Amino acid sequence: MDNTRSEIISKVPQVTLLFWIIKILATTLGETGGDAVTMSWLGETTAEASGFGYLIGTAIFGAIFIVLVIIQIKAKRFHPFLYWLTIVATTTVGTTLADYVTRSIGIGYTGGSTILLTLVVASLLTWRRATGSISVDTVNTPKVEIFYWVTIMFSQTLGTALGDWFADTADLGYLGAAAVFGGALAILVALYFWTNVSRTILFWIAFILTRPLGAVVGDFLDKPLDHGGLELSRYTASIMLLVIIAALILIFRPAAAEEAH
């Protein structure tokens, strides 16, 4: 294995089944964690709402995201907890930003999803034009890492709005929306194993679709019973998800380290 390939593996986790499991859990955590701050702590869905809760939440998580991305880029090798913490940061800022755009500004889920999809596509096209590839296998320089994390942040934000659109606007409910995104991911798995469709394209579609799946599952966990949710504490749900993610990273870390070498 050459040095370039070693550097790539050291900064980006291998895309395995474990990657997708943690990704879905991280996106679910992003939904419950973002809601815990904007809806519970800042009271955006209460009678005392100031109207700026989603914006304040976005500023908080946006600052955390920027700091983590800088640390991630400066890191000389792959640190699993740093990487996944950065992913969680993109999902929380995606949650609060999407809620701000669709609710506070009043664009709605359809308008918000359209704008965010445009931003994701524009980010991918700009990345490809600037570097020649959008494959995660090329994420081994600061320039490419910036494109990588910006695209991820846009895709996580899109996923939140898209999940809300299917659950609320399309009136499928949280479980119905989860079934739609789960089915779409199953189709992608079939395309991966039984066709020659670009693996890079399939990766980014899957990356985008796992976000709304996590978002609607997160909403199912913490939304009120009369809205189709389980009405669990957002704080409790977030802590439980965080513990599960940390446990998976710790349990499978030795195997991941062996694969990296």
Q: Encoding tokens for residue 118?
A: 């445009």
pLDDT in tens, 26-42: 999 999 999 999 988 88
**pLDDT for position 13:** 85
CB 109 within 8 A of CB 165: yes
List, in order, residues 6 or more apart from 24 with CB less than 8 Å away: 210, 213, 214, 217
CB 61 within 8 A of CB 93: yes
List, in order, residues 6 or more apart from 212 with CB less than 8 Å away: 159, 160, 162, 163, 166, 177, 181
**pLDDT for position 63:** 96
**pLDDT for position 28:** 95
Q: Where are the domains of the chain?
A: 3-161+233-255
Whether pTM exceeds 0.85: yes
**pLDDT for position 40:** 87
**213 burial via Cβ count (<10 Å: 0-12, 13-18, 19+):** buried
Q: Residues of the chain whose pLDDT is less than 70?
A: 1-10, 47, 49, 51, 254-261
CB 42 within 8 A of CB 53: yes
Q: Sign of the C-alpha dihedral, residues 158, 160, 166, 171?
A: negative
For residue 146, CA distances in Å to 23, 46, 68, 175 come to 19, 37, 12, 34
Query: What span, in angstroms and rounded, lies between the C-alpha atoms of 55 and 38?
Result: 9
Query: What span, in angstroms and rounded, lies between the C-alpha atoms of 44 and 174?
Result: 21
Rounded to 10 deg, the angle between the 234-260 and 3-11 helix axes is 170
**pLDDT for position 68:** 95
Query: What span, in angstroms and rounded, lies between the C-alpha atoms of 168 and 210?
Result: 18
List, in order, residues 6 or more apart from 237 with CB less than 8 Å away: 32, 218, 221, 222
**pLDDT for position 4:** 43
Query: What span, in angstroms and rounded, lies between the C-alpha atoms of 142 and 46?
Result: 42
pLDDT in tens, 100-122: 888 888 888 888 889 999 999 99
Q: What angle do CA 30, 20, 192 make, to 5 degrees?
A: 135
Q: Is 140 helix (H, G, I), strand (E, B) or coil?
A: coil
Q: Encoding tokens for residue 127?
A: 């990345």
**pLDDT for position 5:** 46
CB 77 within 8 A of CB 10: yes
